[in-house]
Amino acid sequence: MSTISIIGSGGMATAIAGRIAKAGHTVEVFSRDPAKAQAFADKLASGAITGAYGATPAGEIVILAVPYPSAVAVLADFGKALDGKVIIDITNPVAPDLSGLVTPHGSSGAQEIAKGAPASAHVVKAFNTLFGQVLAKDKRLDAFIAADDAHAKARVSTFLESLGLRPLDVGGLQMAQTLEALGLLMIGLAKNGAGTWDIAMKADIG
pLDDT score recorded for residue 35? 93
pLDDT tens for each residue of 131-184: 999 999 989 999 999 999 999 999 999 999 999 999 999 999 999 999 999 999
Q: Please determine, for residue 46, whether its predicted confidence score (pLDDT) is greater than 90.
A: no
pLDDT band at 206 (very low <50, low <70, confident <90, very high): confident
The rounded distance, in Å, linking the Cα atoms of 122 and 74 is 16
Q: Secondary structure of 4-35 in the HEC alphabet?
A: EEEECCCHHHHHHHHHHHHCCCEEEEECCCHH
Residue 186 burial by Cβ neighbours in a 10 Å radius (0-12, 13-18, 19+): buried
pLDDT exceeds cutoff 80 at 1: no
Question: 133 and 12 in contact (C-beta within 8 Å)?
Answer: no
Task: Kindly list the domain boundaries of the chain, sorted by start residue.
Answer: 3-193
With 0-12 / 13-18 / 19 or more C-beta atoms within 10 angstroms meaning exposed / middle / buried, residue 98 is exposed
CATH of domain 3-193: 3.40.50.720
Beta-carbon contacts of residue 130 (< 8 Å; ≥ 6 apart): 141, 143, 200
Compute the chain's Rg from CA coordinates.
16
How far apart are the C-alpha atoms of 100 and 94, rounded to whole Å?
A: 6
pTM of the model: 0.96
Strands 3-7 and 61-64: parallel
Per-residue confidence (pLDDT) for residue 138, from 0 to 100: 86
Pick from 114, 111, 112, 116: which is nearest to 174 by CA? Answer: 111
pLDDT number for residue 6 = 98
Task: In whole angstroms, give the CA distance from residue 137 to residue 77.
Answer: 33
d(CA 185, CA 65): 20
